[in-house]
Amino acid sequence: MKWLILLICLKSVFAVETVNIEEDYKWVDDIKFSSKEEGVSKNKDEINFKVQNDDNVLSSESMNVNILESEQVNKIEDGLSKIVFSCYKNDFETAFKAMDEVYSSFKNNASYWNQVGTCYYLKNDFSKATLFYNKARDLDSKFVAPINNLGVLYLKTNKPQKALAAFEKASEMSTFSITPNLNLAKVYLKYGMNVKSLRILQGLYKKNSQDQFVGALYANSLVINKEFDSAAKIFSKLNANVKNKIENSLNYSLALKMIGKKAEANDLFSSIAPPSSGIQLDYYNKLASIIKE
């Protein structure tokens, strides 16, 4: 009975939906540019697919952070590195000035347009961000970064099915790249495709066991799949900042309890400050009765 309560509790932390995705990629055809601002269409939509009903879907507060992929600055020209740094500092005036300065040199460079898109994303101008990510895609169909970034943008604009399509496409194109595969695993976990998520995370963790984001997500996925012993071992290896995040601490305490380490589970749970409100507070309260029994 307690385990039934726990499962209900986990599914309350993760908002439930029903979804099955059939992809149909339709990228914007032959966008022509003579400058950054020409041809902006607020209604262009480059990925379409149908949605059907399927299994229960989970949505976690711990899954909310998704990662934009940018160029490795040390591998690109100084003109683009200035854009990268300025955009991430939200210094858009400097960034757009830098774009203008290098436009003639980089107008046919997919990395340039990907970074322009990211600047507009960070500026919350999602229509232009979408357009410029697609310009990068148009220039280099094998360039993974703008496809991943479209996925992040779609999550930000409440289009999860389109985000999933983009991340799946990026993952297919770059099997060993952390960013798109980590994002894909998050979305799979968020929408209840636990086995798919776990498979990706196992591969990522095997190759990147020191990556804290990968480790935390993998451990939480293992808890959902009731692999508590493996989850506890991975939680124990996380650094303090990651381990002490409330969703990780709660699930670590649960894993310890379920493998018979009751005293450790109780000590850890007792050190967690109760959330102020919301789904996490409900989970905390229900988990309290299981940890302390």
Q: Is residue 52 part of a domain?
A: yes
pLDDT tens-digit series, residues 233-259? 999 999 999 999 999 999 999 999 999
pLDDT tens-digit series, residues 127-184? 999 999 999 999 999 999 999 999 999 999 999 989 999 999 999 998 778 889 999 9
**What whole-number distance in Å separates Cα of residue 245 and Cα of residue 237?**
14
First to last CA, the chain: 13
Residues 6+ apart with CB under 8 A from 259: 228, 229, 232
pLDDT over 80 at 202, yes or no? yes
Percent of the chain with pLDDT over 70: 73
What is the tally of structural domains in the chain? 1
Q: Is residue 131 part of a domain?
A: no
Q: Is residue 274 part of a domain?
A: yes
* 278 or 18, which is more confident: 278
Q: Is residue 260 part of a domain?
A: yes
SS (H, E, C) the chain: CHHHHHHHHHHHHECCEEEEEEEEECCCCCCCCCCCCCCCCCCCCCEEEEEEEEEEECCEHHHCCCCCCCCCHHHCCHHHHHHHHHHHCCCHHHHHHHHHHHHHHHCCCHHHHHHHHHHHHHCCCHHHHHHHHHHHHHHCCCCCHHHHHHHHHHHHCCCHHHHHHHHHHHHHHCCCCHHHHHHHHHHHHHCCCHHHHHHHHHHHHHHCCCCHHHHHHHHHHHHHCCCHHHHHHHHHHCCHHHHCCHHHHHHHHHHHHHCCCHHHHHHHHHCCCCCCCCHHHHHHHHHHHHHCC
Q: How many CB atoms lie within 10 A of CB 24?
A: 9
Inter-CA distances, 153 with 53, 120, 160, Å: 24, 11, 10
Q: Is residue 155 part of a domain?
A: no
Name the phi and psi angles at 54, rounded to 5: -150, -150
pLDDT over 60 at 4, yes or no? no
Give the pLDDT score at 16.
30
Q: Is residue 129 part of a domain?
A: no
Domain that holds residue 20: 2-66+174-291
Q: Is residue 62 part of a domain?
A: yes
Nearest to 13 by CA among 61, 57, 55: 61
CB 11 within 8 Å of CB 56: yes
Q: Is residue 130 part of a domain?
A: no
CATH code assigned at 215: 1.25.40.10
pLDDT tens-digit series, residues 122-141? 999 999 999 999 999 999 99
